[in-house]
Structure 1
Amino acid sequence: MFSNKVHRSTVIGLLMLLAWITNSCQKDPENPAPDQPVTWFDSFGKMLDDSLKPKKIGYAYVILEGAEVRASGSGGLKSRTNEAEGEKAFTLDTKLHVASISKTITAMAFLHLAAQKGIKITDKIAPYLPPAWVKGQNINQITFRDLMTHESGLIGLANTCTNGAYSENIWWGLQQLVQKGIRASNRGKYCYQNANFSLFRILIPAILGYSFTGDDQMDDEQTQQRYMAYVQQNVFEKVGITSAVADQPPGDPTYAYTYPSGLESGWNAGDFTNTVGAYGWHLTPRETGKLFATVFSTTDQRILTTAWKDTLLTNGLALFSGIMPDGSIRYHDGWWYLRLAQYQGVRTVWIQFPDNVTAVLFVNALHGTRGYFPSDDGNDIVPYLTRAYTLARAAKTGRKTVGTLTLEHPEPH
């Protein structure tokens, strides 16, 4: 047992040591320690966070330079308290239906296969369609490039160039479109149709050697499985994505909501396995950023060689172009919704900016009356993201931006 004298001296010594440590850790006001430098990427991300957090919607973004993540953030909920699953946060690892971003993924898969099989984008698709399908007028003229640029001449069963979201993208719908044929005057004209890319769900297995049986149900199921397996193995797994699906994760859905939100329940769009190709893939923002940055902003050639990347970019295959004050962009957006009293849905986008910068943004709500990105000023997702990029760059360089954003096809996709 220590004496009181020894005990008091020990305590005093410890207090003196603590005071010395505390004083040593305090900043010297004459020579302050440098703060972590704030990059324009940080400013870019802060603009997105400051704008999106008050909306109380689920969102996440990732910004990469080359393959390196420079900024990321998320907020809001993927599932609210009134859902059966209860309240769950929307994070960088939240699975969301990426909608038409799937088209670029399908194009990557086809071009990867074309490189393996010696196929050109100008080759005709007819030899790879099911033999039992009736080929209508001029179907034998359609090329793979025609499909990937929406210039095939397919204008939908209603003859109005109105994009078919479901019935025209299942096996039966694609069969009917092929039988209907196309007008020669329509081929070569832009008409955005999901069916152009849903056909790859059948074409890719055929190129791989699948022998059609003539049994529609069996051929439908088999081509679905073979298409998804090929994309998984030759696109997703090449960049370490092992859990891509065409449905909501079991028991863990990400709901789609309206903005501004009331007390309504969210919408679960369900399983897209029988229509996957033009849309349907479910990925996380982190996975999506990694995939598109790897392909478009690095020299990595595991998915596409440099030559095939150039083919995709120069021909505008499954992507769109735009010009902004800082340079040109390439992108594809995604849009999926249900409209009852108001819109509920998702809006997604990837954009390749100048200098190998890639940005991905997901939200799980749409403006209730406009049905587009949930902005208060009417801007949709592409102008919203490019404006944040431009403002962040201007704040860093001190240069005033001059010019406006011009998009090749500004409508949502």
Structure 2
Amino acid sequence: MSEIRKYGQRQRLWVFVCLLALIIVGIYGCKETEPTPESLFLPELFAQKMEDTLRNRGVGYAFTIYEGTQLAAKGSGGFQSLAADPEGQKDFTTDTKLHIASMTKTLTAMAFLKAASQKGIKLGDVIAPYLPSSWKLGAGIEKVTFGDLLTHRSGIKGLNGTCQNGSYSENIYDGLRKLVALGVSSRGDYCYQNANFGLFRLLIPRILGYTFTGNEAMDDVQTQQRYLAFLQQEIFLKAGVQNAVASFPVNNPTYTYSFPVTAAQKGWNPGGFNAVLGGYGMYLSATEAGKIYASALSSGTNEVLSTTLADSLIIRNLGCYKATANLGTIVYHDGWWYESLQPAGRGLRTLWVKFPNNITCVLMVNALQYRGSSLVFPFNDGNILGFVYNAYVKALQARGARVSAEALPLFVEHPEPH
């Protein structure tokens, strides 16, 4: 009996040890562990590096990162409106719509390429036959081509005759008519002007068959509607975006602020832009914008643009820019909009950028910082493209990539805000 008791005791002890081991494994096995950089995908690290700067800084922001056409990471924070605003405090999310400003130019380039391919029109064709017949064509306009407009080399300099980007009044129907009547004298020289793309609000409907009536009020409204309808049908819907608008959603504006943002600060509502669509004006969320640019420009897809048209847009810099580093070529277009250049100036900054490994990022912020004599992106010395690029490089390094110092500098041909 003594041996039996000893055996039973050993058996009970063994069962107890096994149960204790299972409990310990259960406790620690279920405990969440912090992911290491090596366990994260590049888009996740990319998002993490941007959040490190953007989070808890008082700025309303949202970004999305697409790998191919799939959403791979996102982030948002801050507010689209504050307690001092009529709508009260609302969070800024990846579904918050913001005026994307000159990011619209890329959409206009996409729309032209699709309309032109349908109608057999080439980049080298001149625009004169597609302008209203009642308009006076100033000297040199007869030589301006579609490609000139899409690369800001038409020679249009604005009503003041300088290369300072034109105001809102130059981009409404009557303003565009006045610019065409003024003519051009430096076709072929780069001069960034919203009107280069604003003209496509008229040209795209005309290419598609609209006949100008000579009634400017009617032609203005008709071309606005037809331009937007073509974008809705051929760009937005094909990317899975159904409610893109040219103004903030009804009773739900996203305000802009001056950085640093304080709780007592009242925001500025940029308003609606139907009358100046083409060069700027669309309202999109970071999710929607990411879908559109990734669907149109990602390698191996033709959801929005055929491969041939997408390659043409990128290679020829149609509604976009390139920046180069030893890591490869980056394609992008930024945007900004602001109330004024006073110290209290309030505004926004936007960017889409496509990296060499089929990663597309969209970033939006609803605050600008006044520095010296201008308003700038609140971080990274005012450089939004450099900010996103630096986060991308840090993500590569965190993944263990050997990125040498020689690979880091980014050459940007046109670094001014667009």
TM-score with structure 2 length normalisation?
A: 0.90
Distance 1:32 1:131 in 2: 69
Distance 1:165 1:101 in 2: 17
Quote the residue 1:356 is aligned against: 358
Aligned length, in residue pairs: 392
Distance 2:35 2:83 in 1: 40
Distance 1:193 1:32 in 2: 53
Q: Which amino acid is 2:351 matched to?
A: V
Quote the residue 1:6 is aligned against: none
Instruction: Say which SS state the counterpart of residue 399 (structure 2) adopts.
Output: helix
Q: Which amino acid is 1:106 matched to?
A: T
Give 1:357-396 correspondences, 5 Å limit: 357-369=359-371, 370-375=374-379, 377-396=380-399
TM-superposed deviation, 1:62: 0.8
Distance 1:175 1:232 in 2: 26
TM-superposed deviation, 1:303: 2.4
Instruction: Say which SS state the counterpart of residue 336 (structure 2) adopts.
Output: strand
Quote the residue 2:331 is aligned against: 330
Quote the residue 2:281 is aligned against: 280
Distance 1:386 1:25 in 2: 42
Distance 1:348 1:127 in 2: 35
TM-superposed deviation, 1:355: 1.1
Instruction: Say which SS state the counterpart of residue 405 (structure 2) adopts.
Output: coil
Answer whether contact 2:152 2:193 (CA < 8 A) is retained.
Answer: yes
Distance 1:126 1:200 in 2: 12
Instruction: Say which SS state the counterpart of residue 290 (structure 2) adopts.
Output: helix
TM-score with structure 1 length normalisation?
A: 0.91
Question: Are residue 90 (structure 1) and residue 92 (structure 2) matched?
Answer: yes
Answer whether contact 2:56 2:78 (CA < 8 A) is retained.
Answer: no
Question: Are residue 74 (structure 1) and residue 79 (structure 2) matched?
Answer: no
Distance 1:33 1:242, change over 3 A: closer
TM-superposed deviation, 1:294: 1.1
Give unmatched runs, 5+ long, in structure 2.
Answer: 1-18
Quote the residue 1:5 is aligned against: none
Quote the residue 1:408 is aligned against: 413
Give 1:8-157 correspondences, 5 Å limit: 25-27=26-28, 37-157=39-159
Answer whether contact 2:396 2:403 (CA < 8 A) is retained.
Answer: no
Root mean square deviation, CA, Å: 2.1
Instruction: Say which SS state the counterpart of residue 112 (structure 2) adopts.
Output: helix
Q: Which amino acid is 1:316 matched to?
A: N
Q: Which amino acid is 2:229 matched to?
A: A
Answer whether contact 2:65 2:361 (CA < 8 A) is retained.
Answer: yes
Distance 1:28 1:301, change over 3 A: closer
Percent identity (aligned): 46
Q: Which amino acid is 1:232 matched to?
A: Q
Runs of 4+ in 1 over 4 A off after TM superposition: 18-24, 31-36
Quote the residue 1:264 is aligned against: 265
Quote the residue 1:161 is aligned against: 163
Quote the residue 2:242 is aligned against: 242
Quote the residue 1:11 is aligned against: none
Distance 1:96 1:35, change over 3 A: closer
Quote the residue 1:397 is aligned against: 400
TM-superposed deviation, 1:317: 0.5
Answer whether contact 2:60 2:365 (CA < 8 A) is retained.
Answer: yes
TM-superposed deviation, 1:392: 1.1
TM-superposed deviation, 1:396: 1.2
Distance 1:19 1:273, change over 3 A: farther
Give unmatched runs, 5+ long, in structure 1.
Answer: 1-17
Answer whether contact 1:329 1:353 (CA < 8 A) is retained.
Answer: yes
Quote the residue 1:205 is aligned against: 205
